[in-house]
A and B are shown apart, each in its own frame.
Chain A
Amino acid sequence: MTLIVRSESPSTDRSTVWLEGRLDAATFAAFDEALHDITPLVDNGGTLVVDLSGLEYISSAGLRSLAQLRKQIHDRDGRTLLLNPQPQVKKVFDIVKAVPVAEVFTNVAELDQYLDHMQRQITAPGS
């Protein structure tokens, strides 16, 4: 199985990327290539949601690519949130403490709640 990357940008402040298959030393180059199209989707202050529901496997090569993506979005003043990592991916994240736990969500409702909360903080500072 190879890696499939799909992306969608329903609003200017939020885009979603779906990863399917394996992100490893055989597929990371294709993913890095796809990043060129993904990072411009996120405007300043925007959010990129990386949906990992269909990603069945990640290795250190994949972790590096994912880190690269997060860094590029961060450099654009955007934010990367990871959605629904599956058991193998979660285990690898846990072992290397790959991402801040606050940026990983088990479902869309949890993620929406977080973004709503962030939005309220921006529109009503100090409240």
Chain B
Amino acid sequence: MKRSRLIAALLLLPWIVTFLAFWLFPLLFSLIAGFTDYSLISRTGAEWIGLDNYRQLFSDNDFLESIKNTFIFVFGTVPVTTVLALLMALFVNKRFPGRGLFRSGFFLPSITSMVVIALIFTNLYQRGGYIATLAAMAGFTPPEYGFLYSSSTALYSIMAMDIWMSVGYYMLIFLAGLESIPSELYEVARIQGASSTRQFFSITLPLLRPVALFIIVINSIKSFQIFVEIFVMTKGKFDTASMVYFIYDTGVTTAFRFGYASAAAFVLFFIVATFSAFQFFLFRRRKPLW
């Protein structure tokens, strides 16, 4: 018995060691730093200042703006991505020639690096670039300086890009969910005279609930932490600074106020965790919401 305990310990070792060293230690370090005035550039050590960082954060305009921008981003992209992914999955669900090609094509953007996509879209969104030209053809006047250099369109442009990139991935998950619904259910409903719309709302949607929940939770968590696109495309200007961008800007560059930024990071973590828990609660209700 002792021997199997030893073996169990050895088996767990690589994970425990790497997790403790590379994830837990930095996490605790930051947690503590959030209560100090630790600055990366200062030679003097950090002083414990308790909740001062947190107090200051909530009167910091830039931080509050970043919270607003992040929420706009999350509430704008998650529902749209989910609905679009579902629609695309429904569209590609039946077997027809070329299905594989379309499925792959839709999925392609999501396996590409975020940096590359951001670079490409920076060019496409420029004044005179492809998207502006297409918008003009369709009758809209694109903003004067391109979509990224205007406070009214910059954040939404980045959101659109994000939806474009992730919809294929979630479409696949919905596809799997659709495939796992037994076809007999539809047979029975058809025999009983239910229309396809009725079938959709009474069979498909309820049975997709766990999948939808998974998608919404994962997508929200990722969306709350958006950073790369903003860093590459606008450097936080034109009302696009997200919370993680604020953390990066305040803590790792410009201000080098690591303690302050750590506090902000934990505020973000708290928001994300609460939001996710809330989503679980909302979707776990006995009675379907729709």
Asked if A pairs with B, the answer is: no
Q: Which residues of B contact A (CB under 8 A)?
A: none
